[in-house]
Amino acid sequence: MSLLLIEIVSEGMIFGADRNVTHIYERLGVSKVEIHGQSQRTKVLRWPNRRALIGYVGAAEIGGLPTDEWLYEFIGDNLEFQSFREMAFSLSGKVQEQRYLDEKGSSAELLILHLGGFEKREGVWVPSIWHIRNTHGTGANEYLDVKKDFLCTEVEWPWPTQEQRTRFGERAQSFDPFWIHQTEDLGTFNTIEAFLKAAFKVLCEQGHGTHAFPSSLSEWERQVKMSILTYSAYFQAYKGPGEQLVGGGADTVSLKWP
């Protein structure tokens, strides 16, 4: 499943993810035992012109390619686009079409993607994040009703357009930046993340060592990377071989608020 973490602060937008990809190898013997293992791939990417970010969790392959390679090809075919809405629905349609072919008669495998960047609305730059997924419901700690059909919706912000950058900044100043999390056992991650944010808040307020309140996008990226590495450590400590659904390092990509 892995971990995708998105944060928005007044300086910009950050996508981060772990690198572990889980594979199911040949089924052996009469009992058809499944052998699980991990390899490492990037799960967050940036358009070459730096206008957009994309990240995913879930299915490791699309169209016979590692998911990141398939997404790189999609980006290459769509270097320029008019709007995030247009690009999100195009991506959703292409993913659904290919996954139908990939899965054929088998059950649908979970796949969640986020596409994000900044675009002008009412004369000001605001974040736009689109949520593409084939899970049609969620429980306390799990994704439910996984289908072959994909949904594509834009994340709605609770503030007027003209106030958004200020409001995102206010949340970040309280060391609670706006976030979107997608991962295995989301409740456990959110609990660990809350304690981690609280600990760093204390370190910053006390001026402990080199820990000062983040003042740049790159410093916020470090916080995102720390969250990913901390949850990876949880899996390393408590899960056995083949169960390291989160781990393998951390990647981050970001866009500055125009």
What are the structural domain ranges in the chain?
A: 3-256
Could you tell me which of 256, 224, 13 has the C-alpha nearest to residue 128? Answer: 13
* pLDDT averaged over every residue in the chain: 91
pTM of the model: 0.92
pLDDT of residue 209: 67
pLDDT of residue 241: 78
pLDDT of residue 37: 57
| φ, ψ (nearest 5 deg) of residue 241 | -55, 140
Q: What is the pLDDT of residues 8-47, one digit of tens each?
A: 999 999 999 999 987 655 455 544 444 455 678 999 999 9
Range 3-256 classified under CATH 3.30.1330: no
pLDDT of residue 23: 66
Query: Is the pLDDT confidence value at 182 over 60?
Result: yes
- DSSP assignment letter at 48: T
pLDDT of residue 33: 46
Tell me the C-alpha distance between 2 and 154, whole Å: 22
Q: Pairing mode, if any, of strands 12-18 and 3-9?
A: antiparallel
| φ, ψ (nearest 5 deg) of residue 145 | 55, 55
b/e burial code for range 5-14 (CB count within 10 A of at least 16 → b): bbbbbbbbbb
Does 79 or 206 have the greater pLDDT score? 79
Query: Is the pLDDT confidence value at 242 over 80?
Result: no
